[in-house]
Chains A and B, each alone.
Chain A
Amino acid sequence: MRLEAQQLGYRLAKDNWLFRNIDLTLEPGQITGLMGPSGAGKSTIARILAGFIQPAEGSAVLKKALQHENRERSSAIGGAVTDKQGWKRRRTDGSIVRKPGGNTVPYPVQLIFQHPEQAVNPKWKLQRIVEEGAKPDQELLSLLGIDPGWLDRYPRELSGGELQRCCLARALACKPSFLIADEMTSMLDAITQAQIWHAVLGIAQQQGMGLLVISHDQPLIRRLCDRVIYPWETANENKKVTVRG
């Protein structure tokens, strides 16, 4: 599966473009870093790719190679409630979907938000939140350092870092093809950050999951990513870093 975005543009009002002409492709198993100045629309790109909002122009498409035929099937991403393909949103953060009349299918692109406290239902206990998409196995929970005691609590009773790990468990339980991490570990201390990234990298390698890492932290991006894109500075080629950490 490949995630392709072409000529993406988003605007807040007529003639007030947040960004235009952004191209990016995510390959399975590849770790891509996305950097840019604050307020440039990095989180908006993440939301478009995960299908929460529709771009004002351009398209984001999931391309699935059909094994028996020598062609690709594309399905457009996105739609507010029900889009053309009939994906329907259910989860509080919108990334679990259901086909009308069919079974509940986790959406293949999962997004981890910058502020976990805004991505969970405050009236639900963690158990219900974590199992929203699919039931995570015990191994995943312990890999992310989630204490079983947390699952009996409400979101406000956990710290941001603890909550973020639960959000990550929720997304990874769905076994997504792509994971978009929007400043996933910016509220964590270095040890927890290293721990969580090691867990995520292990899972990504094992499942062939593609990752898009959005972060301000240059050493982190350099450490993690196969390639780094600066969509806002495409003219400035020498800023493109291609380092394998």
Chain B
Amino acid sequence: MTVLEIRNLSVFFSRYYNWFRKRTEACLNGLELSVGAGQLVAVIGSSGSGKSLLAHAVMGILPRNAGWSGQMLYKGELLTPQLQQRLRGRELALVPQSVSYLNPLMQVGKQVRMSGGGVRSRTELRSMFRRYGLESQVERMYPFQLSGGMMRRVLVSTATLGGAELIIADEPTSGLHAELAQETVMRFRELADEGSAVLLITHDLESVLPYADAIAVLYGGTSIEVAPAHYFSGDGTMLRHPYSRALWTALPRNEFTPPKGKPLVRPARSAAGCPYREYCESASEACRSGQIPVRRVNEGWVRCIDAT
């Protein structure tokens, strides 16, 4: 069953410049993504490709000057602001990127128990903390007393205590050492196996690869490829978008070579054409204009004209 389906999602910000002139800038452009129950989909992409915005758009916590268009379906139902408000914290859970999302003046145990509006029992909390390797005295500590890794685990337990059906984790492994990162990803895998849909936003491809069902690659505010995890193996020839291939070869455990040519400044942000066209070796005139159609290939899909 598809828990979350995103169709043609665009997010834009209105900004003022020269005092009174207003301009809207698109940050996400025609993004497509879907997650099924029991699935763990990893979302990877360059920094600034709009990964966090995607999470915030689904949760309905975009900043005030942002607007969005497109369709988001939660279990086939259109995700409206009212529905988002009703569901978030209960069926929709977010593990935020920054540890500053914790209330600095509240003991973490209390925060976790009160998450999502309801109050949960101490025993429930204790068993959850034990599962994440947090000792019972941590419950009475304040966020400033915890290390970065501990705060991260507190955040993860906040999101998972409520039995959410859709969990969006935004960079849950950054700042954790390899074993802890792996353990965290394994927790999300367990949650997926228990029937939740998990969207794992990360740039650490290597730690999520063994546990993910599918990988969605974001670039320049749009999703350019969704591929099963096993496509990311060998020399990456199974990947169909040139950006995904470049990302794979640039990993330290592979070639560790950046694509040749200009330094990567920023992807083209205009709505028209492929955002990677400036760096792509086989870019043609057709890549510059219009919306690049989504092409379904046996497993997953790709947004590239040249893909076979």
Using CB atoms and an 8 Å cutoff, list the residues of chain A in contact with chain B: 37-39, 114, 142-145, 147, 159-162, 183, 186-195, 197-198, 216-220, 222-224, 245
Please tell me which one of the listed residues A145, A188, A224, A245 contacts residue B203 in the complex, with CB atoms under 8 A apart.
A188
Question: Can you list 21 residue pairs at the A/B interface with Cβ under 8 Å?
Answer: A37-B177, A38-B147, A38-B176, A145-B263, A145-B265, A147-B266, A159-B48, A161-B48, A183-B175, A188-B47, A189-B44, A190-B203, A190-B248, A191-B246, A191-B258, A192-B47, A192-B264, A194-B251, A216-B177, A216-B181, A223-B256
A159 & B47 in contact (Cβ 8 Å cutoff): yes
Interface residues of B in 29-79 (CB under 8 A from A): 44-48
Q: Which of A39, A189, A218 has the most CB of B within 10 A?
A: A189
Q: Taking chain B's interface residues, is the majority helix, strand, or loop, or is none over half, making it mixed?
A: loop
Q: How far is the CA of A102 from the CA of B266 in the complex (A)?
A: 42
Please tell me which one of the listed residues A189, A198, A219 contacts residue B46 in the complex, with CB atoms under 8 A apart.
A189
Chain A residue at smallest Cβ distance from B219: A189
A219-B206 in contact given A38-B180, A189-B45, A194-B257 (Cβ < 8 Å): yes
Q: How far is the CA of A223 from the CA of B250 in the complex (A)?
A: 12
Q: How far is the CA of A221 from the CA of B253 in the complex (A)?
A: 10
Known: A187-B203, A219-B253; 17 extra A-B contacts, CB below 8 A, are A39-B149, A145-B264, A159-B48, A160-B47, A183-B175, A186-B175, A188-B47, A190-B248, A190-B250, A190-B252, A191-B259, A192-B47, A194-B250, A194-B251, A194-B256, A216-B176, A219-B251
Using CB atoms and an 8 Å cutoff, list the residues of chain B in contact with chain A: 44-48, 147-149, 174-178, 180-181, 203, 205-206, 246-248, 250-253, 256-259, 263-266
Chain B residue at smallest Cβ distance from A147: B265
B247 & A191 in contact (Cβ 8 Å cutoff): yes
A191-B174 in contact given A162-B48, A198-B258 (Cβ < 8 Å): no
A-B pair count, CB < 8 Å, reads 93
B174 & A186 in contact (Cβ 8 Å cutoff): yes
A218-B250 in contact given A162-B48, A191-B46 (Cβ < 8 Å): no
Q: How far is the CB of A225 from chain B (nearest CB, A)?
A: 11
